[in-house]
Amino acid sequence: MPVRTLDEAAAWVDRVGLALVFPKDDLVLPSLWRAAGGADEYAHREPDGTFLEWAEPMNFVWPTKDELVERGFACGGKHLRGRASLISFDVLPALVAVAPGGELSQLETEIVELVRDQGPQTTRDIADVLPHHERKRVRAAIDRLQGKLVLTSLGREQSNTWPALIVDLIEHRYAKSLHTMPSREEARAQLVRKLLDAANELSVADVTGALGWRKRDALAALESLGPPAYEETGVPIWSR
């Protein structure tokens, strides 16, 4: 049965652990859109392509993706492959534990320091406070910081105009969930197990595509679950 209420959506995120809001064909991650009964088309259009109306599941998915975060049912943001995603709190420490490392750029550092000093900020306000940077560069940096699990979404501001996203440091927003952190090996095994539960079958390429890991890390995590179930044209496949 399609997910149709906020409580059902929260339970679904808890079950799958890692999810996109909208699907992407080359990623094996589950999506709230599909869980809500969404098909391949997001909108109904005239034969010439003129927009008519959004497909019915959009009326549920669009507000729910923000409400899940605002009500504290899930972590949300561009945390998976640069796409809007939802993360359960039991999986969040593992995802943070294997987040991409490396030094932040000057612009990324300025954004982090601003949010650390001033508290949660809208993406619009951050760009206003850093006028010496182009707005599109600021927005791109905010997206990168979400991919690095440094910033996270708090939902959208209440506004009569197009509402801006509100972001905060993930270490502040979810300090309780991140109190105990797994090792990187434990984290990778947990994430791959969740991914396998949702996808039913996985190859190394599926894991690298969905989580952005190096091939050797994806292989080690899969092998920690046991031997592959079979091979397909020479490619090992792990199955639930």
Cα separation, 200 vs 25, whole angstroms: 16
Greatest Cα pair distance in the chain: 56
Cα separation, 9 vs 58, whole angstroms: 14
Class (C level, CATH) for 184-239: mainly alpha
Residues 95/211, Cβ–Cβ less than 8 Å: no
Q: Would you state the CATH architecture of domain 106-173?
A: Orthogonal Bundle (1.10)
Cα separation, 118 vs 169, whole angstroms: 11
**Sequence-distant contacts of 194-198: CB under 8 A, at least 24 apart:** 194/16, 194/17, 194/18, 194/91, 195/18, 195/28, 195/29, 196/225, 196/238, 196/239, 196/240, 197/16, 197/17, 197/240, 198/16, 198/17, 198/18, 198/19, 198/28, 198/29, 198/30
The per-residue pLDDT for 160 is 62
pTM: 0.91
The encoded tokens of residue 94 equal 């593992």
Number of neighbouring beta carbons within 10 Å of residue 168: 18
Residues 42/24, Cβ–Cβ less than 8 Å: no
Cα separation, 206 vs 33, whole angstroms: 20
The per-residue pLDDT for 221 is 97
The per-residue pLDDT for 190 is 97
Domain ranges of the chain: 6-42+55-90, 106-173, 184-239
Q: What's CA 134's distance to the chain center, in Å?
A: 25
Cα separation, 183 vs 228, whole angstroms: 24
Alpha helices in 130-236 (DSSP H): 135-147, 170-173, 184-199, 204-211, 215-223
Cα separation, 199 vs 186, whole angstroms: 20
Residues 50/139, Cβ–Cβ less than 8 Å: no
Q: What is the chain's pLDDT, residue by residue, as a tens digit (240 residues)?
A: 899 999 999 999 999 999 999 999 899 999 999 999 988 887 777 788 787 778 888 999 999 999 999 999 999 999 999 999 999 999 999 999 999 878 999 999 999 999 999 999 999 999 999 988 899 999 999 999 999 999 999 988 876 667 789 999 999 999 999 999 999 999 999 999 999 999 999 999 999 999 999 999 999 999 999 999 999 999 999 998
Cα separation, 48 vs 108, whole angstroms: 43
The per-residue pLDDT for 9 is 98
